[in-house]
Amino acid sequence: MLVDKKEKLCRKYGQKLLMSERCENKCALDRRRTRPGVHGHKPKAISDYGRLLIEKQKLRYFYLLKNKQLKNLIDKCKKMKEPLPSALIKILESKIDNVVWRLGYVKSKFQARQLVSHGHFLVNGKRVKTSNYFLKPGDVIEIREKSKNLEIFKDLPKRLKGYIPPKWLKIDLDTLKGEFLRYPELEEVALPFDINLAIQFFSRY
């Protein structure tokens, strides 16, 4: 997915989805608040179904998931004993590319997914090459030794200086090892979408 395509998604949904490196500070949404296309400046009536679809799409893009992957995760969470939104966020926030991004190793989720899929990270000493890997409390994540000389990691100590990861994560600035301490609570995570509406979309089927 090209950078300009990612930024069009932010404009389309009127929300920063933090998919690209420049989205946080130089997002196209900051320059143009209208939707992409020649009719983007015109108000658009949204049906109840359309509103559910929009929130579902925001969730999907924010966590870099395909529709089937998201549906399977929701079905899995339905079997848990806690409220569905809380259970879903706990799983999504433990997704390895999301954790890599939250720990500050990279500047965007899309970048995190690429580096994980190329095998540049280890979990508990073992190489992981899929972004659909979910961490558990106590898991330790680190950059593979052979990957530490990559250009993208050369200024990492400087970038991490002063960076404070979320409360459910920890990173050692000396060893650059990160740890997934616990699953976050729903209210701890700032979400650019309405998770209840997103879940409602799948309840229609």
Could you read off the pLDDT of 14-55 as tens digits, one per residue? 666 666 565 565 555 556 656 555 454 566 678 989 999 999
With cut-offs at 50, 70 and 90, classify the pLDDT of residue 62. Answer: very high
Quick one: pLDDT at residue 6?
A: 56
Q: Do domains 3-91+191-202 and 95-180 have the same CATH topology?
A: no
What is the CATH superfamily name and number for domain 95-180?
RNA-binding S4 domain (3.10.290.10)
pLDDT of 4 above 60: no
CB under 8 Å to 96, separation ≥6 — which residues?
Answer: 116, 121, 123, 128, 130, 131, 133, 134, 135, 141
Mean pLDDT of 105-128: 95
The predicted model gives 137-154 an average pLDDT of 95
Q: Predicted confidence band at 84 (pLDDT cuts at 50, 70, 90)?
A: very high
Across the range 97-108, mean pLDDT stands at 95
- Is residue 1 predicted with pLDDT exceeding 50? no
pLDDT of residue 203: 81
- What Cα–Cα distance (Å) separates residue 97 from each residue in 82, 107, 152, 176? 24, 11, 16, 16
Tell me what the pLDDT averaged over the chain comes to. Answer: 86
The pLDDT of residue 68 is above 80: yes
% of the chain exceeding 70 in pLDDT: 78
DSSP labels for 38-93? TTTTS-----HHHHHHHHHHHHHHHTT--HHHHHHHHHHHTTSSS-HHHHHHHHHH
The secondary structure of the chain as a DSSP string is --HHHHHHHHHHHTS----STTHHHH-HHHH--SPSSTTTTS-----HHHHHHHHHHHHHHHTT--HHHHHHHHHHHTTSSS-HHHHHHHHHHTBHHHHHHHTTSSS-HHHHHHHHHTT-EEETTEEE--TT-B--TT-EEEE-GGGTTSGGGTTHHHHHTT----TTEEE-TTT--EEE-SPPPGGGS--SS-HHHHHHHHTT-
The answer, yes or no, to whether residue 145 has pLDDT greater than 70, is yes
| CATH architecture, range 3-91+191-202 | Orthogonal Bundle (1.10)
Model pLDDT for residues 170-196, shown as the tens digit of each residue: 999 999 999 999 999 999 999 999 999
Spans of all domains in the chain: 3-91+191-202, 95-180
Q: Dihedral of CA 116/163/157/142: which sign?
A: negative
The pair of structure tokens assigned to 177 is 């090892």
The pLDDT score that the predictor gives to residue 20 is: 57
Higher-confidence position of 51 and 5 = 51
Listed residue (174, 170, 184, 167) closest to 141, CA to CA: 170
